[in-house]
């Protein structure tokens, strides 16, 4: 039986989804990504849930993709890996309800991307954001960063891979609020409760229109990395 790498707790119309791989700094393994997309799919179909919060167990939001899974892959397995990764990104982006990131600690590489794919971000004072993969020959995902911070800063952060501490993240609009570490989940819940006052259908309509352009841009970017050219989000976008 697979380990529970993603935990879901529901309270009234709000769900908290936690990455549960603390010993590996919540690295996004293939199995974790699978469980995450499955959990989001279930929440998408749950008419009682209006808002979801995504966070990480422990002191790290996510260290990004699990690089140990890249080692020794054949060309065929590399292509399969690309295809799975592409679909994972689309499935998260097209989650049809508001998705808040409670960034409890560092968000690196693919973990940074995951926070960006949420609708907005509440960050712990201990959080920081970085694309270190640029130093190892891996291109950061530009088109999830550009809509949040603008083209100039997106290029800056992708080219340099520099570390963005929480105060700067707030100043440049990368996060919406910074709070003490012990309050990050409570603040995200408060935001979720405010959002949940609206009708589910209205929230889903806003989300759909907000995602349409981003899906087009990210699909073009990912297709340049030998991903399949056409995919449809799991939630019908």
Calculate helix-pair angle for 75-93, 30-45, nearest 10 degrees.
30
Count other Cβ atoms within 10 Å, centred on residue 71: 6
Beta strands in the chain (DSSP E): 6-11, 14-19, 51-56, 99-103, 107-108, 120-124, 128-130, 164-165, 177-179
- Residue 236 DSSP label: -
Measure the CA–CA gap between 147 and 142, rounded to whole angstroms: 9
Count other Cβ atoms within 10 Å, centred on residue 224: 9
179-198 core/surface letters (b: 16 or more CB in 10 A; e: else)? beeeebbebbbebbeebbee
Measure the CA–CA gap between 77 and 57, rounded to whole angstroms: 30
Q: Is 133 a residue of the active site? A: yes
Six-digit token pair at 196? Answer: 């949940």
Q: Which of 133, 168, 217, 221 is catalytic?
A: 133
Q: Catalytic amino acids?
A: 133
């Amino acid at each position: 039986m697979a380990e529970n790498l993603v935990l879901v707790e529901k309270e009234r119309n709000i769900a908290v989804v936690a990455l549960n791989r603390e010993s590996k700094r919540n690295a996004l393994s293939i199995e974790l990504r699978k469980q995450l997309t499955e959990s989001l799919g279930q929440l998408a179909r749950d008419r009682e849930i209006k808002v979801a919060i995504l966070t990480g167990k422990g002191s790290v939001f996510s260290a990004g993709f699990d690089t140990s899974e890249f080692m020794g892959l054949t060309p065929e397995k590399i292509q399969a890996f690309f295809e799975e990764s592409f679909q994972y990104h689309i499935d998260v982006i097209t989650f049809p309800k508001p998705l808040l990131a409670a960034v409890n600690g560092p968000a690196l590489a693919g973990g940074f991307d995951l926070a960006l794919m949420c609708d907005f971000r509440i960050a712990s004072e201990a959080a920081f954001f970085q694309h270190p993969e640029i130093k190892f020959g891996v291109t950061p995902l530009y088109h999830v960063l550009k809509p949040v911070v603008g083209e100039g800063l997106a290029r800056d952060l992708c080219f340099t891979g520099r570390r963005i501490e929480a105060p700067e993240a707030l100043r440049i609009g990368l996060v919406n609020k910074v709070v003490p570490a012990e309050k990050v989940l409570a603040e995200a819940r408060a935001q979720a409760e405010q959002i949940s006052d609206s009708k589910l259908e209205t929230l889903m309509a806003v989300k759909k229109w907000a995602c349409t352009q981003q899906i087009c841009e990210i699909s073009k970017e990912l297709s340049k990395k030998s991903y399949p050219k056409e995919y449809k989000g799991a939630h019908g976008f």
